[in-house]
Structure 1
Amino acid sequence: MLFLISNETITKLGMNVLVPVFIAFLFFIMWDLSKKNKAGKQGTFWIFVALGGGFFGFLIKMVLEYYFSRTL
C-alpha cells in the first residue's frame, strides 16, 4: 500500500502546526538570548518587541484569512 499525502494537506499541516511550533521555538531562543546576555527587563522587552513582531503579524494574517474565508 502506498501512503499518499496531497500538496494541500502538507501545506495546511505546515502552516497550521509546524510554523507555530517553529515560532514558539524562536520565542524560547529570544528568551534564552536575553538571559545569557543579561539584557534586563527593558532589554528583554525590546528583544521580544523587535523579534516577536513577525509572530504577531503571522497571527493577524491567520485571523484575517479565517474571517475572509467565512464571509465570502
Structure 2
Amino acid sequence: MFGFNEEQIAWFGLTVGVGAFMLYMLFIIGHLAWESKAGKFGTFVIFLGLAFGMVGFVAKGIIEWWMTR
C-alpha cells in the first residue's frame, strides 16, 4: 500500500496511531475534570486513575529504546 510494507504500516500504527489516541484520551480526561469542576486534587486523582495505564505504554517505548541503543 503506497509503497510501504506490512512492518512499516504496523510500526506507524502502533507508535503514531496509539500515541495520537493517547493524546486524545488525555484531552477527554481533562475535559471530564473541567466539566465536573473537580478542583486541583480531584483533577489529579482523575488523571492518576484514568491515565495510569498510559504509563506502561510509554515505559515500554523507553525500555525498547534503551535496550536497542
Q: Please, what TM-score do these two structures have when normalized by structure 1?
A: 0.84
- Structure 2 distance, partners of 1:69, 1:40, is 42
What is aligned with 1:66? 65
- Structure 2 distance, partners of 1:66, 1:34, is 33
What is aligned with 1:37? 36
Structure 1 segments, 4+ long, off by >6 Å, are none
Q: CA deviation at 1:4?
A: 4.3
3-state DSSP of counterpart to 1:42: helix
In the TM superposition, what are the counterparts of 1:13-52 in structure 2 within 5 Å? 13-52=12-51
Q: Does residue 1:8 correspond to 2:16, yes or no?
A: no
What is aligned with 2:52? 53
% identity of equivalent residues? 38
Q: CA deviation at 1:21?
A: 0.6
- Structure 1 distance, partners of 2:34, 2:11, is 34
- Structure 2 distance, partners of 1:52, 1:45, is 10
